[in-house]
Amino acid sequence: MTEHAVLIAATDLLPAMKSRLATNVRDLQAFTDAEALRALETITTRRPGLVVLEKKFASTPRGAALLNRIKADPSLGDTQIQVLSHDGSADVAPTAAQQTAPRPHGSQVATTAAAAQAQVAPAELDYRGTRRAPRFRIAGARDILVDGSRGTIVDLSTLGAQIVTASILKPNQRVRVAIVDDDTNIRSSATVVWASFEIPKGQSPHYRVGLDFIEPDVRAVDAYIRRHKRG
């Protein structure tokens, strides 16, 4: 029997999943998928022997980000992660420490979780071969406004940017952007090319987003890059 476990599932699936797990877990704490951050706090504080994610939630950006955060934490190396479907079948997602150890007979890496992680990590892909303009890392925490909400520029080209923001942005969404400093006020429309939800250790959750500018003032953006690009 597992001493302590944490379960995260959609509200309508939670009661049945709690009932299914209760016979094998002495202390079971359950959270809805909307309470993922509260669940993460409990996981990092209490270090349960088992974390169970409902399969559909695990395939979402928030679920995949939660899995990444747990598996990247060395203090949770002994925590087993299961992705449980509505019919009770389960896959096992290894933690970072467990990934280097021999697999127990019959264990299976959660292909759903892995696929979800691949879908929500576009920032790790190499787009350099297909970019229409060179992109430069921006020094310091330079602001960008996206539909009036503040974000931080990670890198910038004359045709697009990678940013970090607390606002929810989705691929193909059309937004208004403004980049301002003492010398310029650049305003343009943009399309969200990709968006990845992240839960970094010690930081607030945020979205990492790729923007494609629509008819930007190329000269103004280029001048901004020259002023603020990282050494």
pLDDT for res 133: 76
pLDDT for res 130: 37
Residue 93 CB-half CA count within 13 A: 30
Q: Which residue has the higher pLDDT, 43 or 129?
A: 43
Q: How far is it, in rounded angstroms, from Cα 67 to Cα 40?
A: 10
Q: How far is it, in rounded angstroms, from Cα 2 to Cα 145?
A: 48
- Torsion sign over Cα 63, 206, 144, 121: negative
pLDDT for res 192: 94
Averaged over 59-68, what is the pLDDT? 87
CB 90 within 8 A of CB 45: no
Q: For 115-157, how does the pLDDT look when each residue is reduced to its tens digit (9 = 90+)?
A: 433 333 333 333 333 345 789 999 999 999 999 999 999 999 9
Closest CA to 214 of 193, 194, 192, 191: 191
Instruction: For residue 34, name the pLDDT band (cuts at 50, 70, 90).
Output: confident
Q: For 66-96, how does the pLDDT look when each residue is reduced to its tens digit (9 = 90+)?
A: 988 888 888 898 999 999 886 666 555 544 4
pLDDT for res 115: 40
pLDDT for res 231: 79
Residue 50 has pLDDT above 60, yes or no: yes
The amino acid at 185: N
* Mean of pLDDT over the chain: 82
Domain ranges of the chain: 2-120, 124-228
CB 99 within 8 A of CB 89: no
Instruction: For residue 100, name the pLDDT band (cuts at 50, 70, 90).
Output: very low
Determine the topology of domain 124-228 in CATH. Answer: Thrombin, subunit H (2.40.10)
- CA distances to 77, 97, 153 from 74, in Å: 5, 7, 30
pLDDT for res 210: 94
Q: For 176-211, how does the pLDDT look when each residue is reduced to its tens digit (9 = 90+)?
A: 999 999 998 999 999 999 999 999 888 889 999 999
Q: Is domain 2-120 given the CATH code 1.10.10 in the classification?
A: no
CB 222 within 8 A of CB 158: yes
Residue 63 has pLDDT above 80, yes or no: yes
pLDDT for res 42: 92
Hey, what are 230's tokens? 């990282």
